[in-house]
């Protein structure tokens, strides 16, 4: 049995910021996933959602729930990341002043995803987009 939830995130849509992560959290609670995993996925999901709103031209968050693992895919259409290694460095950010003034752009997004996911994969094509796949294992 598997289950999927898909959310569209538009560029610059800060009004709805966090909505996808909140819904993901609520759904996982109803499915009986442990609080510890829910917390990890909430943090990673929120960072992903913010990345879509700030850096991409829009994208999708897809949560797939399986018996053994949860998969969170964050996929966008956008500029792509030229230097993934640099982007993954703690504190590195290309966010503009406006975004920083809203409290984002501290350069912790990808780092926080890596920290919280049990498995993390990122692929990016310049001028096409970025795709992140994170797995969280249910014991």
Partner 1 sequence: MEKLLHSVYLDEEKCLGCTTCLRNCPTGAIRVRGGKATIIGSKCIDCGECIRICPHKAKLAKTDPLSKINDYKYKVAIPAPAIIGQFKTRHSMDRILSAIKSLGFDEVVEVAYGAEIVGRALKYEFHAKHYPKPLISSACPAVVKLIQVRFPELTKNICRLNSPMALTARLIRKRLREQTNIKNSDVGIFFITPCAAKATMVNNPSSTEEDLYANIDGAIAIKDVYNDISSFLNDGAKADTNYNSTPEAFSWALSGGESDYLKNKNVLHVDGIQNVINVLEEIECGKLDTIEFFEGLACIGGCVGGCLTVENNYVAKMYIQERAKNAKQTSILHMSEEYVKEVYNSGMMHIKERIVPRPAEPLDQDINKAIEKMQEIEVLESHLPGLDCGSCGAPGCRALAEDIVTGKAREIDCVFVLKDRVLELSKLTNELLQVGHPTGKTSE
- Would you tell me which residues interact with partner 1 (CB under 8 A)? 1-3, 18, 21-22, 25, 27, 29-33, 35-36, 38-39, 42-43, 45-47, 65, 67, 103, 108, 112, 138
Choice between 35 and 123, CB closer to partner 1: 35
**Minimum CB separation from partner 1 for residue 94, in Å?**
19
Joined tokens for residue 30: 């109803």
**Minimum CB separation from partner 1 for residue 132, in Å?**
16
**Minimum CB separation from partner 1 for residue 24, in Å?**
10
**Minimum CB separation from partner 1 for residue 3, in Å?**
4
Joined tokens for residue 105: 């752009």
The residue written with tokens 């926080």 in the block is 112
Choice between 42 and 77, CB closer to partner 1: 42
**Minimum CB separation from partner 1 for residue 52, in Å?**
14
State how far the Cα of 36 lies from the Cα of 87, in Å rounded to an integer. Answer: 27
State how far the Cα of 74 lies from the Cα of 51, in Å rounded to an integer. Answer: 9
Choice between 35 and 89, CB closer to partner 1: 35
SS3 content of the chain, % helix, strand, coil (to 5): 35, 25, 35
**Phi-psi bin for 98: left (phi > 0), alpha (psi -120 to 50), beta?**
alpha
Choice between 94 and 112, CB closer to partner 1: 112
Angle, helix 19-31 to helix 35-55, in steps of 10 degrees: 160
Choice between 77 and 106, CB closer to partner 1: 106
């Amino acid at each position: 049995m598997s289950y999927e939830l898909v959310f569209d995130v538009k560029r610059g849509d800060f009004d709805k910021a966090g909505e996808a992560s909140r819904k993901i959290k609520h759904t996982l609670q109803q499915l009986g996933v442990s609080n510890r995993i829910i917390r990890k996925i909430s943090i990673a999901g929120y960072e992903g959602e913010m990345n879509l709103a700030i850096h991409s031209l829009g994208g999708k968050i897809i949560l797939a729930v399986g018996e053994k693992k949860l998969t969170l895919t964050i996929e966008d259409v956008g500029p792509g990341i030229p230097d993934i290694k640099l982007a993954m460095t703690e504190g590195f950010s290309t966010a503009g002043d406006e975004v920083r003034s809203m409290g984002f752009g501290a350069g912790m997004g990808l780092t926080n995803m890596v920290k919280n996911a049990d498995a993390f994969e990122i692929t990016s094509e310049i001028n096409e987009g970025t795709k992140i796949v994170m797995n969280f294992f249910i014991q």
